[in-house]
Amino acid sequence: MNLSKQKSRNQKDSAMAGTKTNTIVTRIATYSILIIMTFLIFVPIFWMISTSLKTEAVMFDTPIELIPSDPTLESYKNLWSAYPFLTYLRNSIFVVSAATFFSVSISTIAGYGISRFKFRGRSFYMSFLLATQLFPSIMLLIPYYKTFKTLNLLDSLYGLVIVYISFTIPFCTWMMRGYFNGISRDLDQAASIDGANRIRVFRSVILPLAWPGIAATAIYAFIAGWNEYLFALVFINTTERKTVSLGIGQLIGEYRVLWNELMAAAFFALVPMVIIFIFFNRYLVDGLAAGAVKE
Amino acid sequence: MKSAFAKRESRSGMIFTIPAALIMLGLVVYPMLYGFFISTQKSNLIDKWEFVGAKYYIQLLTDAEFFGTLKTTAIFAACVVIGNLFVGLLLAVLVNQKIPLMNIFKVILMLPWLFPEVVVALIWKWLFSPLFGMFNYVLFSLNLIEKEVDVLGQPGTAFVGVVFVCIWKGYPIVMLMMMAGMKNIPHERYEAAAIDGANKWQQFLNVTLPGLMPVLLVASILETAWWFKHFTIVWLMTGGGPAGATELISVDIYLQAFTNFNFGRAAAESVIILFLLMVVSFIYSRVLRDESQ
Amino acid sequence: MQLTRTRVGISRKAIAAGIATALLIGGIGSISAEAATKKPAAKVTKKPAAKPAAKPAGAKELNEFLTPTCPAKPTTLTIASAVILEKPGGLADQGNADNFMKACPNVKVVFIGIPSNNLPEKLTTMAIGGNLPDMYMHFTSFTGKALQMRIFEDLIPLLGQDYVDGFDPLFLGEAIQGGKLLWAPWVAIPMAVAYRKDLWEAAGIKTFPKTWDEFLDVAKKLTVDTDKDGKMDQYGWAMVGTPNGSGAGRFHSVVLNSGAYNLKEDTNGKFISGASLKGYETALQLYGDAIKAGVVPPGHTTTGYPEASAQLATGKAVMMVTGPHTMGIAVTQNPSLKGKLGGFPLPTANGTKPITTLGQHGYAVSRSSKNKEVAAAYIKFMLSTKQILVYNELEYRLPSRLKAQADPQVAGGMAAGFVGALKGNVWSDSTASFLGSVVKVDYDAYSEMFLGKKTAAELAKEADVKIKKLIADNA
């Protein structure tokens, strides 16, 4: 430690002189990297939108058209007329919101418990949560199915909510634990000395500081549920209970991939996610501001 | 000989953690035990059960092909995890600066995460299509290539291709974890470092990285578990080919269970993976914990 | 190695013996228009002359089975289907249900649409969970599993022997196991070569290739730079080179027609590997040579079935080893192709009689169903000449019912070449539970061949070792 401090002191003078150019260089580097990344992200999105605006004949024509010369909304229309995508959307929003809410609530509490208390079986508990992530999920399919049949929860949106809760709890708990570990214990202790019990400390002191972590965790849980396919496929039979990911999956036929409709559906599924994400992103920023004020 | 304080601690800890434990017990432990059970059975899973002991384990552990698949899977997972951690951390640090436009980049950089894996795999496959894809078309237009490049058709490029796509899809979650983690590094530490004359890079090494250790540990363990078991993107893009270059263990499990109807063997493979990943996690936690101290 | 009658998997004596004898007498399983116009030679029945399958269906036949016996109580019939999600085939499935519900207003037909890629996991899970719908779509690749799970209901008592006799015996040969009819065959897609007549004529080719060497020569002639820009834009062969079932199925057809096979059961019910036969190596060599000769469009290792049919539809390629349904897909993609597609039997190693595969699918009734009678009525309804021809018109698939086969719509037109392919020998895949892994051995072999690092002989040897190991592991 001492050594490195000394070293950095020695560098101080030269650093001071070069601060201005340094900042500019850093900024140029930052923006270049971010612009390259943005480009890499938008290439497939661009191709997706471009494809969704083509007819099947144009799609398979060479030389290909990067931007369709004669764009058409046909695939979007087909999607609306042939599949009840609005119903899929409603189902997805219900299932995923409910699962996210419960999963994040339970995980936040559990994450706090692991982070703050020493109790018997604590390390076992953590390994146990971890171990649940290490088993290939395809092998969970049949036992889940049997259990849910007994509980009469097959072909039910509530059943799917439970599945998604169980899938996301381990990661969410680990993430919240990591987050709570970063919040100083002094705060708990200060509040405890004031006479507050642990639950009140948690609710009124720690929770407000934890919003960025909770928001990040919630985004994870939401996306994981939104994109889940395999269990939804096996559990849901009725068209009226299908989710968006099932709607997308059924466009991939054995004989024909309906690329343009598939891309339209993917684009369509993306929009609510982006809206929700932008909303939560503000929370991330707000959470930061709140934390800063308290400190 | 416990103090009253320790007892209370213990009780509070349990109260906080019990709800999650109950759910996981019911929904994950039972299926895992069931998995252990069927790995010792030759069965149709309905009304025919025959105990075969360690037969499937022995079969697997003496199978050179199984080890080949494990090796491919390990290299694949290592590449994707390292890629994700590197890209995720780099971008998190970059967008965490207080300079203009960062809020917009935060949203843009998260976009790949919002796509379902199925869609990611198919868009890229469609993009790489030698005849109808944009990739070859652009390279042609720029006169960079003479002949169509079949990215997913050559073992080397196919492997790089699927790893690239998996990183494309996978880095945002690491980035998000890092962003959340960085918010909990107290400002004073940076200020102290700045007073000491540390430049940005030194601040990163001495303040950010140690502060992120707990999150990094979680991220590395979970990322390794996820990508080691990965199925969808690779299955849809290459189906394990060409010539087994991208053949992952989960592809084999799927094949054994649902194509060959050999659940015993599929379950045995899953159990082996479970133990392998446990060992890896243990090593991680040792290494990373030591480093942060 | 000559295969006179290649039937693996149906070692069950009772029917097999009967059918096989009848088929041998009848000139090996012919269901061509020719056979149909003569007499139902290729059929096992105690009353050989009973079936008036000879003439094209008249009005009376068209309306047969269109007035089902409806249940007294309101009933919901659930059907798991993959076709319902496909285009254009789904229209046929939906049409059957709609018309049936019109005929029986107190029946509600509810489909469970399952993407065909996900059929194995969903059907298997439902079966193990004891939760199968009344009817489910059956593919022959599922037979082994379904037998192990014992989820089939024997359809012979349900449909009646007389009715069962109206199926093409070739279809029954796969669908009857142990004397039980496990599913009601619907349609088949006999493997042959689909080709673009217009491009074929443009290249001035007169005769169909009889051997694989000729096939390769024709493919070379069809590979041209039509717009003379120095870049090939039309290729001879739309090869499905992806490492998956649809690629392997086509490769195996080439293997069969080179005089080998991957796996079969001998007369004692023991599994034997056919990869040690010379034909396996020849087939691999052909795949390698075709790539080297540049007659396959770029990207062959990632060209799956959908991509290859798109190549055919857009004229990027001229020939494709496939079934008649590909024409349906191509015409849907490019309606101007109507009448411009055709098929011819697969070439063979030395110009002998080609071997095809049926690739049939149909509907099974689950043993646990409570609506078996309604299911039977539905099956008869959907297999009525009128309804089955709707599916045929959409996708050119070959109907399972002899009467429908005799219809000019089936035997004539674009599908004629495929119907003709059934005049050769028919191969049925083994019902071995580990067939999936054998299929993987096949696709691993040609994938390696594409890399060009090993010779065909080495790869055939490796494949043989792997198949033998699978047989031993699963003994």
Backbone angles phi, psi at C26, to 5 degrees: -80, 10
Q: How confident is the model at residue A208 (pLDDT cuts 50, 70, 90)?
A: confident
**How far does the CA of residue B216 sit from the closest CA of chain C (Å)?**
36
pLDDT top residue among B62 and B22: B62
Structure token digits, residue C239: 């090869």
pLDDT score, position A136: 87
- Where exactly are the structural domains of chain A? 2-52, 74-294
**How far does the CA of residue C333 sit from the closest CA of chain A (Å)?**
6
Query: What residues in B contact A9, CB-CB < 8 Å?
Result: 196-197
B206 shares contact with chain C (CB less than 8 Å): no
- Single-letter amino acid, residue C204: G
Q: How confident is the model at residue B20 (pLDDT cuts 50, 70, 90)?
A: confident
Lowest mean pLDDT among A52-56, C47-51, C160-164: C47-51
B141 shares contact with chain C (CB less than 8 Å): no
> Over the stretch B240-291, which tens digit does the pLDDT of each residue have?
878 888 999 998 898 888 888 889 999 999 999 999 998 988 888 787 666 5
Query: What CA–CA distance (Å, rounded) separates C70 from C73?
Result: 9
What's the mean pLDDT when you consider all of chain A? 82
What is the arrangement of strands in the sheet containing C317-322, beginning at the earlier edge strand?
C235-237, C317-322, C192-196, C341-344
Structure token digits, residue C224: 């041209």
pLDDT score, position B203: 86
Mean pLDDT of A80-99: 91
C57, C401 in Cβ contact below 8 A? no
Lowest mean pLDDT among A279-293, C69-83, C154-168, C344-358: A279-293
Query: What CA–CA distance (Å, rounded) separates C3 from C257?
Result: 10
pLDDT top residue among B237 and A4: B237
Query: What residues in B contact A65, CB-CB < 8 Å?
Result: none
**How far does the CA of residue C314 sit from the closest CA of chain A (Å)?**
7
pLDDT score, position C121: 87
pLDDT score, position A146: 86
- Pick from A57, A142, A255: which is nearest to C86 by CB? A255
Q: How confident is the model at residue A220 (pLDDT cuts 50, 70, 90)?
A: confident
pLDDT score, position C376: 95
> Over the stretch C405-441, which tens digit does the pLDDT of each residue have?
888 888 777 888 898 888 778 999 988 888 988 999 9
- Say if strands B49-51 and C263-265 run parallel, antiparallel, or are unpaired: unpaired
pLDDT score, position C277: 95
**Of B135, B183, B232, B273, which to mutate for an interface test with A (greatest number of A Cβ within 10 Å)?**
B183
pLDDT score, position A258: 79
| Cβ–Cβ below 8 Å for B150 and C433 | no
Location of structure tokens 């790489």: B128
| Cβ–Cβ below 8 Å for B129 and C299 | yes
> Over the stretch B134-180, which tens digit does the pLDDT of each residue have?
898 888 888 888 777 888 888 889 999 999 999 999 999 999 888 88
B202 shares contact with chain C (CB less than 8 Å): no
**How far does the CA of residue A107 sit from the closest CA of chain B (Å)?**
7
Mean pLDDT of B64-86: 95
In angstroms, the Cα distances linking B67 to B63, C304, C337, C375 are: 7, 28, 49, 48
Q: How many CB pairs under 8 A join A and C?
A: 83
| Cβ–Cβ below 8 Å for A9 and B197 | yes
SS (H, E, C) chain B: CCCHHHHHHHHHHHHHHHHHHHHHHHHHHHHHHHHHHHCCEEECCCCCEEECCCHHHHHHHCCHHHHHHHHHHHHHHHHHHHHHHHHHHHHHHHHCCCCCCHHHHHHHHHHHHHCCHHHHHHHHHHHHCCCCCHHHHHHHHCCCCCCCCCHHHCHHHHHHHHHHHHHHHHHHHHHHHHHHHHCCCCHHHHHHHHHCCCCHHHHHHHHHHHHHHHHHHHHHHHHHHHHHCCCHHHHHHCCCCCCCCCCCHHHHHHHHHHHCCCHHHHHHHHHHHHHHHHHHHHHHHHHHHHHHC
- Say if strands B41-43 and B49-51 run parallel, antiparallel, or are unpaired: antiparallel
Q: How confident is the model at residue C297 (pLDDT cuts 50, 70, 90)?
A: very high
pLDDT top residue among A284 and B23: B23
Residue A63 has pLDDT above 80, yes or no: no
Structure token digits, residue A16: 């001071």
pLDDT score, position C444: 92
Tell which residue, C200, C178, C175, C197, has the closest CA to residue C186: C175
Residue C293: its H or E element: helix C278-293
What are the strands, taking DSSP E only, across C323-428?
A: 341-344, 355-357, 361-365, 398-399, 425-427
pLDDT score, position C157: 96
Q: How confident is the model at residue C53 (pLDDT cuts 50, 70, 90)?
A: very low
Residue C174: its H or E element: helix C169-175
pLDDT score, position C62: 66
Q: How confident is the model at residue A12 (pLDDT cuts 50, 70, 90)?
A: very low
Mean pLDDT of C450-455: 92
Residue C3 has pLDDT above 60, yes or no: no
pLDDT score, position B3: 67
pLDDT score, position A293: 36
What are the strands, taking DSSP E only, across C275-415?
A: 317-322, 341-344, 355-357, 361-365, 398-399
CATH level 3 topology of A74-294: MetI-like fold (1.10.3720)
Query: What CA–CA distance (Å, rounded) separates A295 from A272?
Result: 35
Residue A288 has pLDDT above 60, yes or no: no
Q: In chain C, what are the domains? A: 13-190+358-427 (3.40.190.10), 192-356+434-473 (3.40.190.10)
**Of B125, B131, B149, B247, which to mutate for an interface test with C (greatest number of C Cβ within 10 Å)?**
B131
A112 shares contact with chain B (CB less than 8 Å): yes
Residue B5 has pLDDT above 80, yes or no: no
Tell which residue, A163, A162, A155, has the closest CA to residue A240: A155
Mean pLDDT of C233-259: 94
pLDDT top residue among C11 and C259: C259
Lowest mean pLDDT among C71-80, C148-157, C370-379, C428-437: C428-437
Angle in degrees, 0-180, between the axes of helices A2-52 and B64-95, rounded to the nearest 10 = 100
Q: Which residue of A has its CA nearest to C116?
A: A254
Query: What CA–CA distance (Å, rounded) separates A212 from A176?
Result: 10
Mean pLDDT of A114-135: 82
pLDDT score, position C19: 41
A75, A264 in Cβ contact below 8 A? yes
Q: In chain B, what are the domains? A: 1-38 (no CATH), 55-292 (1.10.3720.10)
pLDDT score, position A284: 61
Residue C40 has pLDDT above 50, yes or no: no
Q: How confident is the model at residue C461 (pLDDT cuts 50, 70, 90)?
A: very high
ipTM of the complex model: 0.86
Mean pLDDT of A54-70: 82
Query: What residues in A contact C129, CB-CB < 8 Å?
Result: 142, 145-146, 149, 154
Mean pLDDT of C349-355: 86
| Cβ–Cβ below 8 Å for C325 and A62 | no
A151 shares contact with chain C (CB less than 8 Å): no
CA dihedral of B3, B7, B8, B9, whole degrees rounded to 10: 100
